[in-house]
Amino acid sequence: MSTFVIALFLISAWIFLTIFLSARYQGEYKANSLRLHFYVPFILIGSTRISRFIDKLSKLMTRRIKTFLVIVALITMFLIVYVLGESSFIYLKNLLISGRKPPAFSPRLAIALPGLNPIIPISYGIVALIVAVVAHEVSHGMVARSEELDIEDAGVLFFVIPLGAYVNVKEEQLKEAPPNKRIKVFSSGPAINIILALVLLAGLSGMGHLIDAREGVLLLGGIEGTDAYGKVLEGDVLVAIENQSVVHPGDIGTILESLGKRPGDIVNLTIIRENDIKTISVILSDRYNFTGNKSDMGKPFIGIFLVPIDGKALAQFLAEPYKDLLFYISLPFMRLAPISRPISLMFQVPMPGVFWLVYNTLYWLFWMNIVLGTANVLPAFPFDGYGILVGILDIVGNRAIILRRFSRHILIVISVLTYILVLLPYVGPFVFR
pLDDT in tens, the chain (433 residues): 566 677 778 888 989 999 999 998 888 888 888 889 888 888 888 888 887 888 888 888 999 999 999 999 999 999 999 998 888 888 787 777 766 666 666 666 667 777 677 888 888 988 998 899 889 988 999 999 999 888 888 888 887 777 667 788 888 888 888 999 999 999 999 999 999 999 999 999 999 999 988 778 888 889 998 999 999 988 888 989 998 988 888 888 888 888 888 899 999 999 988 778 889 999 999 988 888 888 888 889 998 988 878 788 888 999 999 998 989 998 998 888 898 877 888 888 999 889 999 999 999 999 999 999 999 999 988 889 999 998 988 887 666 565 666 777 788 888 889 888 888 877 766 666 6
246: Cα separation from own chain's centroid: 33
> Residue ranges of the domains in the chain?
41-205+370-431, 217-311
Residue 325's SS3 state is helix
The CA-to-CA distance between both ends of the chain, in Å, stands at 39
Exposure string of 56-72, with b = 16+ CB inside 10 Å and e = fewer, is eebeebeeeebeebbeb
Task: Report the greatest alpha carbon distance in the chain.
Answer: 85
Pick the CATH number of 217-311 from 3.30.1370.140, 2.30.42.10, 3.40.640.10, 3.30.1490.190: 2.30.42.10
